[in-house]
Chain A
Amino acid sequence: MSLDRSDVEQIAHLARLQIDAADIDSYGQSLNSILSLVDQMQATNTEGVEPLAHPLDAVQRLRADEVTESNQREVLQSVAPATEEGLFLVPKVIE
């Protein structure tokens, strides 16, 4: 499995990462070397092995349905790049 320029561009787009055109090849190379490293897995027979998502065999705990949070808008928005009238501002959303 080897990625070409357009694959790298497509992945970068999916991940919403701007990559300079000049850097695409070097990213492509390192992604390919990482992928050939991880391709070592493919030779291993994993038939019938249950995937392990979490190291501990624990189950989800439930939270009581009680309001514990109060309005913290001012402090939470103090680190926001752009707000107005309590809203976070972003370039126009077109639907």
Chain B
Amino acid sequence: MEWEVVIGLEIHVQLATKTKIFSGASTAFGAEPNTQACAVDLALPGTLPVFNENALRMAVMFGLAVNAEIGKRSVFERKNYFYPDLPKGYQTTQLAEPIVGPGFVDIETDEGVQRRVRIHHAHLEEDAGKSLHEDFHGMSGIDLNRAGTPLVEIVSEPDMRSSKEAAAYARKIHAIVTTLGICDGNMAEGSMRCDCNVSVRPKGQEELGTRTELKNINSFRFIERAIDTEVARQIDLIEDGGKVVQETRLYDPDKNETRSMRSKEEANDYRYFPCPDLLPVIIDDSYIEAIRETLPELPDARRDRFMSEYSLSEYDAGVLSAYRPQADYYEQVVKQSGDAKLAANWVMGELAKFLNQNDTDIKDSPVSAEQLGGLLVRIKDNTISGNIAKKVFEIMWSKGGSADEIIEAEGLKQVTDTGAIEKIVDEVIANADKQVEQYKAAEPDKRGKMIGFFMGQVMKATGGKANPGAVTGILKQKLDALCD
């Protein structure tokens, strides 16, 4: 039977506010346990919440960026359940009246599949703390630093039909929230976490199959792998005559399998009701329009502009515009070097390679856009070749310095003096009788390829600094003269 996969995503995005959603404690990542959990975060008796204006502003920014209706009246509710990382015994969240209503984003997979994914709504809520499972005499440790960090939970419609689409959607949300600057986008630190609702149905069937929820996936790659694994499991199960059970499952990336979360199996009754400690959040058109004015250029618009303004391919433009710090970096390099294509090649090539190898975000790149731009200027004006430029870049990365300083200090300036090059060419030809004979014996239209050997020898002799264009010209002229 042919199966169709149906996927909906719930993405939790930690907002990049300085303080918690309902308290004045810092949200900075990585502090000592419970040093950023104040009386309100700890739910001390008598403490009360007050809503952070920046959390509201950021949620509205997101709503506008995904073409959504903004809730002019939104209401916080309590979701009641007991868990040690939930100090109040309820999570303050939104249910019936969320801040962001229906919206959509357009996605495209690597294979070129295009789709509009509808967003059902997005709501504001508070994050929970963390349970640490190292053994404390058979006990668990609770760190509440994260408790109360503002989250926007973005709930999509079940509009995705493959794991690749799901990953593309998650990437698009990531691009949007980082472009807006409302999330640092650091998935390893949990700044963006994804729950995937997955079901399968026979192709052509209207009715949805029973879904399972894959919890807390924190990388794009794992989104794809977890969904693929779960889809395979569901299809196997059904084809073997079994039934999918609606449940929450956990993806184990080490074993590449999903397993049922027993502790969450119990049917929950969350007893939602409007939080009496908070009042309805009311905003008006002027508030919304003022925020719209401040929105930066969004990834889709920037991609289109990169294509038209810099004549980049759709793929390159898409990659470069997906992450705002990268897009900003790229445009700075273009400005500096005056060559959009060369800048794209370097930002997506050598720079990306180094960033990846060193697990470094482009925001923390040791080579600034100005430095890279300066390097590309020297490629363009033939001061150095592309290969030498890679050497300069490496030094720049590890030791710092401008391209000109490095070229000067390392003596890497390209030799363009034809007299000097001619001398070296003559020496190379004189010491390569065999190759010269072969060159002479070859058909004239094959000779071009054979220049490579002589070229290599010349470069070896000059330490790569000879201008390749000049060398080629002189070699061709001298060798062809021998053939006459």
Contacts and interface: CB of A to CB of B under 8 A. Distances in A.
Interface of A: 14, 16, 53-54, 58-69, 71-73, 76-77, 82, 84-95
B263 A94 contact: yes
B52 A87 contact: no
B140 A93 contact: yes
Interface in B185-211: none
Nearest to A86: B33
Interface residues of B, number: 51
Given A59-B281, A65-B17, A93-B131, A85 B53 contact: no
A10 B222 CA distance: 38
22 contacts: A58-B279, A59-B282, A60-B279, A63-B24, A65-B19, A65-B53, A66-B18, A67-B18, A67-B25, A67-B26, A69-B24, A76-B42, A85-B141, A86-B143, A87-B142, A88-B34, A88-B144, A89-B139, A89-B141, A91-B138, A93-B84, A95-B250
Interface of B: 17-19, 23-26, 32-39, 42, 44, 50-56, 82, 84, 131-133, 136, 138-144, 250, 261-264, 269, 271, 274, 276, 278-282
A51 B50 CA distance: 23
Contacts of B37: 73, 76
A59 B279 CA distance: 5
Contact of A89 (B136, B274, B276, B278): B136
Given A62-B53, A76-B44, A89-B140, 19 more contacts: A58-B279, A59-B281, A60-B51, A60-B280, A60-B282, A62-B56, A65-B18, A65-B52, A66-B19, A69-B38, A76-B34, A86-B34, A89-B136, A89-B139, A90-B131, A92-B133, A92-B139, A92-B140, A94-B262
B297 to A, nearest CB: 24
Nearest to B83: A93
B139 A82 contact: yes
A65 B144 contact: no
Given A67-B18, A67-B26, A69-B26, A61 B50 contact: yes
Contacts of A73: 32, 34-35, 37
Given A61-B50, A66-B24, A87 B44 contact: no
Contacts of A16: 82
B132 to A, nearest CB: 6
Contacts of A86: 32-35, 143
A63 B35 contact: no
A87 B143 contact: yes
Contacts of A82: 139
Given A67-B25, A88-B34, A62 B51 contact: yes
Contact of B52 (A14, A54, A62, A77): A62
A35 to B, nearest CB: 16
Contact of B269 (A14, A61, A76, A95): A14
Contacts of B84: 88, 90, 93
A71 B35 contact: yes
Contacts of B250: 95
Give the one of B32, B139, B269, B271 with max A CB within 10 A.
B139
Contacts of B44: 76
A12 B55 CA distance: 36
A60 B278 contact: yes
Top 5 closest A-B pairs, CB basis?
A: A87-B141, A68-B24, A62-B53, A65-B54, A69-B38
B59 to A, nearest CB: 12
A63 B139 contact: no
A87 B26 contact: no
A90 B279 contact: no
Contacts of A89: 136, 139-142
Nearest to B25: A69
A68 B26 CA distance: 8
A88 B279 contact: no
Contact of B53 (A59, A64, A76): A64
Nearest to A77: B34
Contacts of B19: 65-69
A76 B143 CA distance: 13
Give the one of A58, A77, A93 with max B CB within 10 A.
A93
Contacts of A94: 262-263
Contacts of A92: 133, 138-140
Nearest to A67: B26
Give the one of A88, A92, A94 with max B CB within 10 A.
A88
Nearest to A90: B84
Given A87-B132, A89-B141, A90-B142, A63 B52 contact: yes
A93 B346 CA distance: 48
